Amino acid sequence: MSGKFAVDLTGCVAIVTGGTRGLGRIVAATMAGAGCKVAVCGRNEPEDLPEGVSFHAADIRDPDQAKAFVDAVVEQHGRLDFLINNAGGSPPADAATASPRFFDSILKLNLHSAMYMAQAAYPTMKAAGTGSIVNVASVSAIRPSPGTAAYGAAKAGLLNLTQSLAQEWGPDNIRVNAIILGLMTTETAEATYGDAEAQAAVGRSIPLQRMGMGEDLAGAVLWLCSDMASWVSGSRMNVDGGGERPYFLDLVKGG
């Protein structure tokens, strides 16, 4: 996979949150395949991990645990080059009846954890005079997100956080970018989009005629971490296959 993307990260160290499964696991494996030492975290250790990927027990919704995780990685490897804030997600919930506890939990996972991790990574990156932080957001951040209002709000906050940190930390040569991820095929895609036939129909509605895959996210992450993106910071990179078709087009003549 590293050959496909032709990015060499040999000697570098990365943290990928949410990297034990799903899209994050593919990102972690791809970065490791490019020569990078990769650390992932979670509350429970997975049965297996890709080669070159190590596990640390941590709940990054807690700022103290986030800092301890980053400190452990830096102590083990002596550096931290990349932070990929990929952890996130949300079950559907009716906005009118969602509890304050639910709303808080979604913000902690999708927004607070990214801030805690970035704060923890900052001293090491500043001392090194270089670093790249990639925040994985969602199309829910830039359009209505009915049924997952808290998630959409959190991801919208993540986009603003990205640009604010890019401004504050740019003088330290720390680049901060966001990926606005479109409709993706994951292990939970059936619960979100329906069966294989329904997912294929969703794919056909996208200009590039398919839903996204983990490799699509991983390629964007690799590029943003590489020297090819050395003057890219504060950006919002759409990785969405061309975007969602406006619904009104199907309602008008010729749609």
Domains, in order of start, for the chain: 2-250 (3.40.50.720)
Question: Residue 191: its pLDDT value, please?
Answer: 65
Mean pLDDT of the chain: 93
116 is catalytic: no
Q: Report yes or no: 55 and 46 within 8 Å, Cβ to Cβ.
A: yes
The answer, as to whether pTM is greater than 0.95, is: no
The C-alpha atoms of residue 234 and residue 236 are separated, in whole angstroms, by: 7
Q: Is 248 helix (H, G, I), strand (E, B) or coil?
A: helix
The C-alpha atoms of residue 224 and residue 199 are separated, in whole angstroms, by: 29
Which among 116, 151, 193, 247 is annotated as catalytic?
151
Q: Report yes or no: 158 and 110 within 8 Å, Cβ to Cβ.
A: yes
> Which of 7-16, 40-49, 57-66, 222-231 is the least confident region?
40-49
Summarised one tens digit per residue, pLDDT across range 32-51 is 999 999 999 998 889 899 99
DSSP string of 132-174? EEEEEEEGGGTS--TT-HHHHHHHHHHHHHHHHHHHHHGGGTE
Question: Residue 202: its pLDDT value, please?
Answer: 85
The pair phi, psi for residue 13, each rounded to 5°, is -130, 135
Q: Count of CB atoms within 10 A of residue 59's CB?
A: 15
- Model confidence at 158, pLDDT cuts 50, 70, 90, reads very high
Summarised one tens digit per residue, pLDDT across range 170-217 is 999 999 999 999 998 877 666 677 778 888 888 888 989 999 999 999
Q: Report yes or no: 71 and 55 within 8 Å, Cβ to Cβ.
A: no
